[in-house]
A and B are shown apart, each in its own frame.
Chain A
């Protein structure tokens, strides 16, 4: 009588409880005390920026507690770097925060240069500043694009990625790669900038300045954008200080702190720019701060371009610099045919020197340094320990995404589930940086 086929057939004589699709909703509800239920958001949720898992405790639609679970993207970059030379370290660290690769390279290289006691040539310094600020623009554009998309402003997504692609084109023309450049090296740059670098940058600044207005037109007075961002995800100055929050999140809470001003590196003290701050500390304030930071970055780039020095881009030290200045070839790979012809054909010593520098690298004096730079997400610090060998003894990275993500509970507790998306988007975490 009771075969599977019979159970599937409609019947009128029920005996006992009836279950729909095997889920006993009443039993689930009865089992939870105080009507709090726990829901997983992620790791594959489309709105959690990569592989971030949020364990939400919900009372109806109100969030009681948010617990971020991270580590899904852990690749052991810090451990790997202990087994590679100092220059190879750039190749690893650039892959951490993949939206701000040049900041990772710069912070690491500044730390190594501090240990070596060298100063990079002026041309390399200014080129670094220009590329860093373009990278800040590219990173904030991705934030605008993905943040907009998550709140339904899909046009912003296409705009943001469209302009970012122009910046990545510039990076590709200089380093050969759109992302993960390994272009900034201890002692300077991997190769000199191309002859049309200044023209390209100038044209790009004009283009970006023009487009900036479009973002404001699209979002600033958009009622949905305002409703979703104003008054949500509030993080005040005290929260920021206790949780170690830096970058646009802290500046949106009224903390006027920017390492470029406070503890200048790369000669940032010689440029005229402002630190935008807001006092509301909500998601909308962060939007305004990031928007203004993009304008300030354009100002810095213009000033740097106005006085772009000539000369070498690598420190004049035969123990560190490769014996010849490499230029980017027509094939997009960093080997100039003229260079290879000269080295291979004429100078055996230079060839040996080059081989030793590439395979063994240079040694760095023993010691410990902490070098922090202002990345698009806040204080990016490299705590580098050298034991006097040709590879790092230990590198610890103070990742702003990692530290800032701790704020997600403070921002979202008491809010609605829908606000969690906006709040996490406004932190702008990059999971490659969080998990390393």
Chain B
């Protein structure tokens, strides 16, 4: 189902049973999936943890979101959330320690780094919601802005630009929102370290970021 987006492979996740709390929707998730795929044949989809994700191409975003908003059976008048996740290139073995739960480990090894942008669309009319996922290349991330469809995306896209450097084309005012205007870098990318700024403490000492910190030195 989700060849285009091997981030969460069904085999790798060892998916636990979903809590099934979304049973109030008048149109079940499979029907929404079929409905969208009836209009856009190449949209991949999966249902995990009781949540529907639709995987679309960057060029399709505006079209799919417009369809979801204006189609009477979907009627997603609300953009609840817009967020992003960075999956860098290479054998990005995630730092981990022996587990107590024993679920299978997930390893990421991809040729090209991507930033996944997630749009949470919600319909009050039909009381359903689902996620539209679009993956863009992480070297020059670029997406059309959806502020024309959902004005609420204005600040959410500014946040995604600030944190990931995604260029939302057509955004009316794409400037940093949380970080200072003259900040260098995009902090939520995985290649940006935690504590990436040298902060002088007492006696002009610099404390390294937590990932590079030797606790014994700090104690002394």
* A242-B152 in contact given A319-B101, A398-B80 (Cβ < 8 Å): yes
B152 adjacent to A403 (CB under 8 Å): yes
Is residue B188 within 8 Å, beta carbon to beta carbon, of the partner chain? yes
Other-chain residue from A365, A388, A394, A435 in contact with B188 (beta carbon distance below 8 A):
A394
How many B residues face the partner with a CB closer than 8 A? 63
| Residues of A256-273 whose CB lies within 8 A of B | 257, 262-265
**Chain B residues within 8 Å of A71, by CB:** 176-180
> When chains A and B are docked, how far (Å) is the Cα of A30 from the Cα of B178?
35
Q: Which residue of the partner chain B has the closest CB to A402?
A: B155
> When chains A and B are docked, how far (Å) is the Cα of A264 from the Cα of B21?
8
Other-chain residue from A243, A390, A402 in contact with B99 (beta carbon distance below 8 A):
A390
* A114-B127 in contact given A241-B77, A368-B8, A435-B178 (Cβ < 8 Å): no
* A74-B81 in contact given A357-B100, A368-B53 (Cβ < 8 Å): no
B127 adjacent to A403 (CB under 8 Å): no
Is residue A419 within 8 Å, beta carbon to beta carbon, of the partner chain? no
**Chain B residues within 8 Å of A406, by CB:** 151-152, 154-155
A370 adjacent to B101 (CB under 8 Å): no
Choose, from B9-17, B28-36, B60-68, the stretch at the interface: B9-17
**Chain A residues within 8 Å of B17, by CB:** 117
A114 adjacent to B49 (CB under 8 Å): yes
Choose, from A79-87, A169-177, A290-298, the stretch at the interface: A79-87
> When chains A and B are docked, how far (Å) is the Cα of A255 from the Cα of B102?
45
**Chain A residues within 8 Å of B14, by CB:** 365
> When chains A and B are docked, how far (Å) is the Cα of A76 from the Cα of B210?
14
**Chain B residues within 8 Å of A263, by CB:** 21-22, 24, 127, 129
Is residue A200 within 8 Å, beta carbon to beta carbon, of the partner chain? no
Interface string of B189-203 (1 = CB under 8 A from A): 000001000000000
**Chain A residues within 8 Å of B124, by CB:** 255, 257, 262
| Residues of B137-168 whose CB lies within 8 A of A | 150-152, 154-156, 159
**Chain A residues within 8 Å of B53, by CB:** 368
A83 adjacent to B18 (CB under 8 Å): no
A360 adjacent to B24 (CB under 8 Å): no
B70 to chain A, nearest CB (A): 13
Is residue A115 within 8 Å, beta carbon to beta carbon, of the partner chain? yes
Q: Which residue of the partner chain A has the closest CB to B154?
A: A406
Interface string of A362-401 (1 = CB under 8 A from B): 1111111110100000010101010111100110101000
Other-chain residue from B15, B21, B80 in contact with A365 (beta carbon distance below 8 A):
B15
Other-chain residue from B22, B78, B101, B194 in contact with A363 (beta carbon distance below 8 A):
B101
**Chain B residues within 8 Å of A114, by CB:** 18-19, 49-50
Is residue A336 within 8 Å, beta carbon to beta carbon, of the partner chain? no
Count class of interface residues, chain A: 35 or more
B102 adjacent to A241 (CB under 8 Å): no
Is residue B172 within 8 Å, beta carbon to beta carbon, of the partner chain? no
* A244-B94 in contact given A263-B24, A263-B127, A388-B105 (Cβ < 8 Å): no
A353 to chain B, nearest CB (A): 8
> When chains A and B are docked, how far (Å) is the Cα of A119 from the Cα of B27?
25
Is residue A342 within 8 Å, beta carbon to beta carbon, of the partner chain? no
Residues of A within 8 A of B (CB): 70-71, 74, 76, 78-80, 82-83, 113-117, 119, 241-245, 255, 257, 262-265, 319-320, 353, 356-357, 360-370, 372, 379, 381, 383, 385, 387-390, 393-394, 396, 398, 402-403, 405-406, 435-436
A selection of 8 A-B contacts at a CB cut-off of 8 Å is A80-B194, A114-B50, A320-B101, A363-B99, A383-B118, A383-B120, A398-B120, A402-B155
| Given A263-B127, A263-B129, 16 further pairs, Cβ under 8 A | A71-B177, A114-B49, A115-B49, A116-B101, A241-B77, A243-B152, A365-B13, A367-B13, A367-B48, A387-B106, A388-B13, A389-B106, A394-B86, A394-B188, A396-B83, A396-B118
